[in-house]
Structure 1
Amino acid sequence: MRYSELANLYRSLEKTTLKTLKTKFVADFLKKTPDELLEIIPYLILGKVFPDWDERELGVGEKLLVKAVAMATGVPEKEIENSVKDTGDLGESVALALKRRRQKSFFSQPLTIKRVYNTFVKIAEAQGEGSQDRKMKYLANLFMDAEPEEGKYIARTVLGTMRTGVAEGILRDAIAGAFNARPELVERAYMLTSDFGQVARVAKLEGNEGLARVQIQIGKPIRPMLAQNAAGVKDALMEMGGEAAFEIKYDGARVQVHRDGDRVIIYSRRLENVTRSIPEIIEAAKSQLKHERIIVEGELVAVGEGGRPRPFQYVLRRFRRKYNIEEMIERIPVELNLFDILYADGEALIDTPFRERRRRLKEAVEENERIKLAVQLVTKSAEEAEKFYKEALELGHEGLMAKRLDAVYEPGNRGKKWLKIKPTMEDLDLVIIGA
């Protein structure tokens, strides 16, 4: 399949603001996509190369991209940079440079989607000494064979600036429309796997029955269940039917831990792979989680003097650190407070009531200074819960979570089965003056 066909889709998507038309364009494209490309096309349509949870990154910035275009076209780097000042879009400037290219390769061949994708993979996997030069040459080889419109969208994909207005909802509806699948089954499969490529392939080749069979997979994060706000402890208790599990709401970063034997992967709430940044939690998971194959959720908290929690920003600093991690372990120690279990040794637990999941979690974890269970109080008493709430605030935590004891885990859903209780801040009227 030619890359020019994908470029034509991008152009059509840019020209309309109507979601219905965008959905139709994407669905029509998916219908004609060969089976072997179905796992990669959804992400390219979104303007990405890999799912958010895939730790591979292209690692190409504007300067390296400009160098690659200059190498491919003979147009000086400075001219391309000046063009960006006029167009406001490096993709458009790449297209202009390709129109002005001094010469085209004698052995030039039309670009295919597979070749473009495989080149992106090579770029992402280029590591070590000389990797920047290799990345530049890989890109230059693409631009040598690219038509101007193709070059524009290759550049935008590399920089993550596609601008077609296609988000997850449109892609989900397009997959359902393309393959006559039930939208709720497409949604369910995506919530369990966070993988549109797999969902599209199953929808086409196995239909609704295949989508219904999609299960949780270790290594593919489940979309997190979300909570609504509650006015206070009493309101939360009433919403829960008079009895609830109250847990400390930690001021940290929510994570999902996947263990498959000695392999442990940790995903952030946004499904980013943050495994490398917290090796001490990886080692603790191997020793403290009793199941060989397990998925648990918790809150990663930075710990300060006297064991008091430090603000959320400290955890973000751990996530962002790629080098000198040992130094950061000393400067910003962290602990993981687990509050849910979603899978254990082949058994999916998301349809199990929360009361039972908490029991299973307790059985599955051997607590130590690195991994603990979230502190919990199950009560029918508003007074008891209020006291617990005040204690949580005094300890430096955000507040409480209230959870229905009979609630199943609903991936991606923000409902009233989980409620968050924290102090109400003063309302502010603000104007954004920079972004």
Structure 2
Amino acid sequence: MKFSQLSIYLDQLDSTSSRIEITKILSTLLKSAQDNEIDKIIYLVLGRLAPQYHGLVFNIADQLMLQSLSLCYATDLGEVKKLYRSLGDLGLVAEKLKKEKTPQHHPKPLSVIDVFNRLKTIALDEGEGSQDRKITEMARLLSELDGLSVRFVTRIPIGKLRLGFSDKTIIDALSWQQNADKQFSQAIKKAYDVLPDIGLLARLIKQSGIENATKNIKPIIGTPVMPMLAQRLKSPAEMIKKMGEVAIEPKFDGLRLQIHFQKNKPTKAFTRNLNETSWMFPELESIGQKIKANSAIFDCEAVGLSENSKKMVNFQTTMTRRRKHEVLSHSQKTPIRFQVFDLLFLNDKSLLHLSYEERRKLLKEIVTDKNLLIVDEYLVTSSPEVITQKHKEWIKKGLEGIIVKQVNSEYVPGRTGWRWVKMKEEEQSKAKLKDTVDCIIMGYSFGKGKRSGFGMGQFLAGIKDQETVKTITKVGTGLTDEQFRTLKKRLKKLETSQKPKEYIPGIKSLLPDFWVIPNLVVELAADEITKSPGHSSGFALRFPRLVRFRDDKSPSDATTLSEIKKLFQLQ
């Protein structure tokens, strides 16, 4: 497929917000794609070059792209910047310059694979002089494309393609191309949860059909499995009623991690939002000496410890490990213990279909360490009173609460059924709501008085509803002065002149002064959830305050509208 053909589809997708229309357009596009290009087409329409867990980024900011446009169209940089201020979209700037200026090279029909490979080369270019090379190569690529293609190829490297859909809509489109409906979406989603590379999955479906491609999917070392998540229930009595016999585990205030071990290969670690963070944990280099296995995938919580007392520290302190510089120094200041609670894969065999107790038995057998890898304790019971007792006991020990798990349950990625249920107590937030809410920051507004110096006074937060983000609250409390300053800097980089397509705004008085692209997730506490005609979700958080920034979560991990409805009923 020529990239100019793909651009026509991109233009159609850019021009509609209808979910059904987007699915139909994508279905037609995927049906016309060849085996060797369908994965690349999918990555490009999602604005990336690989599955999310690869962590491949362009490192091209707006300023660098402005220089590429200046070079490509032999136009003064000041003039390009002026045009950008006027149009507010570098893709439109590039398209306008293409029409008005004479390019240095005549356009030639590049294929999707050509453009993909050249963008990947630009993204992988690192080291001394790489910024100048990126500017030059980006300019050269743009000069060889038509006007419509230029609009989209300019947006992709700076993270501004944003067509308003994610992997979930691609899954529906893959089903739609087979039967003009979502009949096969569930089967594809089940396979995707085990192998979350939507490009690879699409290629397998293209080659062998949906049934053959999805029936034998199993975990692969180095590719994170979507984590199994806990639901909420009102009381221990209801837990026993819905779940029967359960296992009670402590809930730690740490970083959810999936550890992938393969003998004689580097050990990898992934967060719950599929980001690889192996570099944060140099301790993992010695994991092979602490387990009896050739290969394994562990589900665990990375818990930071104080340097001297070895007592558990809070999540924010644990996350100081994120700094890529002086990793060894930070690992010494904040030692880590991995509280392991599940085993997904062992010696080239998937364990997802085994029961909780069968997986725990194997886990206990293969972990020989007592310091770095700690297999969580658990207690099996059918008594609501025992659940309450253990919850109070672990809260007193400084833990977050408990996780209650059905003893005969398989490991099912995502938040489905009543297999796992969490029971927390937000002591520090002093919240009356039984659980916190993970929200996406949608925009922010100017501050008044003291906060005018920060450049912001409050932010608008939203929750997920399918592929859209709906408003639920504005937050201006719970942040320190330093957090306000840091947040403003982060949001400034995410500002966009136009409201993102996936955002459903509330009433006019709730609109922010500045929109930002969906990127930052925050954990909020509140006194209660109330019904609200002003917010697009139909609900509002009463007295919301920031508990912490959740850099370990992506927008896809945010609380959903259906979860808010359940929390509302649990009050």
Give the structure-1-normalised TM-score. Answer: 0.93
Corresponding position of 1:188: 190
1:229 counterpart letter in structure 2? R
1:374–1:120 Cα change, 3 Å: farther
1:338–1:33 Cα change, 3 Å: same
SS in 2 for 1:119: helix
> Is residue 2:26 matched to residue 1:26?
yes
Higher normalized helix content (fraction of residues): 1
Corresponding position of 1:153: 152
Which moved further from structure 2: 355-364 or 328-337?
Answer: 328-337
Are the counterparts in 2 of residues 300 and 336 from structure 1 also a CA contact under 8 Å?
yes
Residue by residue over 1:2-61, the C-alpha shift from the partner in whole angstroms, topping out at 9 and shown as x without a partner, is 111121111101211211111111011111111111222212121221111003221111
SS in 2 for 1:84: helix
Please point out which of 414, 421, 432 is paired with 1:426: 432
**C-alpha distance in 2 between matches for 1:392 and 1:258:** 29
Residue by residue over 1:162-203, the C-alpha shift from the partner in whole angstroms, topping out at 9 and shown as x without a partner, is 131222221101112224583232112211100111211111
Matches within 5 A, 1:225-240: 225-240=228-243
**C-alpha distance in 2 between matches for 1:394 and 1:87:** 57
SS in 2 for 1:35: coil
**C-alpha distance in 2 between matches for 1:201 and 1:32:** 13
**C-alpha distance in 2 between matches for 1:400 and 1:183:** 33
Residue by residue over 1:61-111, the C-alpha shift from the partner in whole angstroms, topping out at 9 and shown as x without a partner, is 1111111111111122222222222222222222223223343315x4223
Corresponding position of 2:134: 135
**C-alpha distance in 2 between matches for 1:277 and 1:83:** 42
**C-alpha distance in 1 between matches for 2:101 and 2:267:** 48
Corresponding position of 2:169: 170
2:149 counterpart letter in structure 1? E
**C-alpha distance in 1 between matches for 2:250 and 2:2:** 54
**C-alpha distance in 2 between matches for 1:76 and 1:334:** 52
**C-alpha distance in 2 between matches for 1:99 and 1:289:** 62
**C-alpha distance in 2 between matches for 1:314 and 1:29:** 46
**C-alpha distance in 2 between matches for 1:368 and 1:58:** 41
**C-alpha distance in 1 between matches for 2:200 and 2:276:** 19
**C-alpha distance in 1 between matches for 2:95 and 2:282:** 44
SS in 2 for 1:263: coil
Matches within 5 A, 1:27-426: 27-105=27-105, 108-180=107-179, 182-207=184-209, 208-241=211-244, 243-261=245-263, 262-280=265-283, 282-304=284-306, 306-319=309-322, 321-423=323-425, 425-426=431-432
1:317 counterpart letter in structure 2? T
Report 1 or 2 for greater relative contact order, CA contacts < 8 Å, sequence distance ≥ 6. Answer: 1
**C-alpha distance in 2 between matches for 1:100 and 1:303:** 61
**C-alpha distance in 1 between matches for 2:162 and 2:222:** 29
**C-alpha distance in 1 between matches for 2:222 and 2:79:** 45
Which moved further from structure 2: 363-372 or 392-401?
Answer: 363-372
Report the CA distance between 1:426 and its aligned residue.
2.4
Which moved further from structure 2: 26-35 or 165-174?
Answer: 165-174
**C-alpha distance in 2 between matches for 1:103 and 1:142:** 11
Report the CA distance between 1:343 and its aligned residue.
0.7
SS in 2 for 1:407: coil
Corresponding position of 2:529: none
Are the counterparts in 2 of residues 3 and 111 from structure 1 also a CA contact under 8 Å?
yes
Structure 1 stretches of at least 4 aligned residues deviating more than 6 Å after TM superposition: none
SS in 1 for 2:188: helix
Are the counterparts in 2 of residues 186 and 203 from structure 1 also a CA contact under 8 Å?
no
1:16 counterpart letter in structure 2? T
1:237–1:220 Cα change, 3 Å: same
2:79 counterpart letter in structure 1? E
1:250 counterpart letter in structure 2? F
Corresponding position of 2:519: none
**C-alpha distance in 2 between matches for 1:237 and 1:83:** 63
SS in 2 for 1:306: coil
SS in 1 for 2:91: helix
What are the ranges of 5 or more consecutive residues in structure 2 without an aligned counterpart?
437-471, 476-511, 517-571
Corresponding position of 2:13: 13
Report the CA distance between 1:296 and its aligned residue.
1.1
1:104–1:396 Cα change, 3 Å: same
1:338 counterpart letter in structure 2? V
Report the CA distance between 1:405 and its aligned residue.
0.1
SS in 1 for 2:42: helix
Are the counterparts in 1 of residues 201 and 213 from structure 2 also a CA contact under 8 Å?
no
Residue by residue over 1:326-365, the C-alpha shift from the partner in whole angstroms, topping out at 9 and shown as x without a partner, is 1211222222111111111121111101011111111121
**C-alpha distance in 1 between matches for 2:250 and 2:294:** 28
**C-alpha distance in 2 between matches for 1:65 and 1:210:** 40
1:260–1:383 Cα change, 3 Å: same
- Equivalent pairs: percent with the same residue? 27
Aligned length: 431
1:131–1:104 Cα change, 3 Å: closer
Are the counterparts in 2 of residues 298 and 340 from structure 1 also a CA contact under 8 Å?
yes
Which moved further from structure 2: 179-188 or 415-424?
Answer: 179-188
Are the counterparts in 2 of residues 176 and 203 from structure 1 also a CA contact under 8 Å?
no
2:101 counterpart letter in structure 1? R
**C-alpha distance in 1 between matches for 2:122 and 2:353:** 41
Report the CA distance between 1:378 and its aligned residue.
2.0
What are the ranges of 5 or more consecutive residues in structure 1 without an aligned counterpart?
none
Are the counterparts in 1 of residues 258 and 297 from structure 2 also a CA contact under 8 Å?
yes
Are the counterparts in 1 of residues 60 and 158 from structure 2 also a CA contact under 8 Å?
yes
**C-alpha distance in 2 between matches for 1:48 and 1:349:** 31
Residue by residue over 1:220-255, the C-alpha shift from the partner in whole angstroms, topping out at 9 and shown as x without a partner, is 1111111111334343333321x3111111111111
Report the CA distance between 1:430 and its aligned residue.
4.2
Residue by residue over 1:393-427, the C-alpha shift from the partner in whole angstroms, topping out at 9 and shown as x without a partner, is 12222110000000011122333110000126225
Are the counterparts in 2 of residues 400 and 420 from structure 1 also a CA contact under 8 Å?
yes
